[in-house]
Amino acid sequence: MFFLTGEYDHQIDAKNRIRIPSKLKGNEDRLYFSKGTNGCIFVFYDAAIKEKLEKLETDIKISDVEKQKGLRAFTKSLKLVEMDPQGRLVIPPELINYGKIRKDIKICGAGSRIEIWSKEVYDEYFAGVDENFDENFSVLDI
């Protein structure tokens, strides 16, 4: 089980490389990147993505056309990215475009995954969240 938390300000370099913050960094030298929800990029460690895909394969019937389309959209966006000798990861260009990433980014722990956001998209998405924390938290039903 993964419990990745926190948010970190970073920048992407001219060659689309990033470093995962040390508090989110595991021992693996390769991670899976995919399109995420709300314009972010999901990043999974090997064990986490295998767990997610096994659950999806078990839960989604092959005859469920809608859910199969969602599964296909997700899995076709998955890219295996290996760290270079300096510990950097190159974000695939199609995901850079999807996430509207330019220079400034936010890297966040989100439970079993890491999320990479364009700072602008992140700021827009979370505008007002702190002022409405109780309302947003109450939908979690915990």
Q: What pLDDT, in 10s, does the model give residues 33-74?
A: 999 999 999 999 999 999 999 999 999 999 999 999 999 999
Contact 99, 118 (CB under 8 A): yes
Alpha carbon distance 29, 21 (integer Å): 14
Residue, of 139 and 101, whose pLDDT is higher: 101
Mean pLDDT of the chain: 93
Asked if the model's pLDDT at residue 2 lies above 80, the reply is no
Alpha carbon distance 121, 27 (integer Å): 29
pLDDT band at 111 (very low <50, low <70, confident <90, very high): very high
Asked if the model's pLDDT at residue 139 lies above 90, the reply is no
The pLDDT, as a whole number, for residue 1 is 61
DSSP class of 99: T
Q: Once rounded to an integer, what is the mean pLDDT over residues 4-18?
A: 96
Residue, of 134 and 16, whose pLDDT is higher: 16
In sequence order, which residues have a C-beta less than 8 Å from that of residue 16 and are 6 or more positions away? 90, 91, 93, 96
pLDDT band at 12 (very low <50, low <70, confident <90, very high): very high
Q: What pLDDT, in 10s, does the model give residues 77-91?
A: 999 999 999 999 999
Alpha carbon distance 32, 125 (integer Å): 24
Q: Which pTM was predicted?
A: 0.91
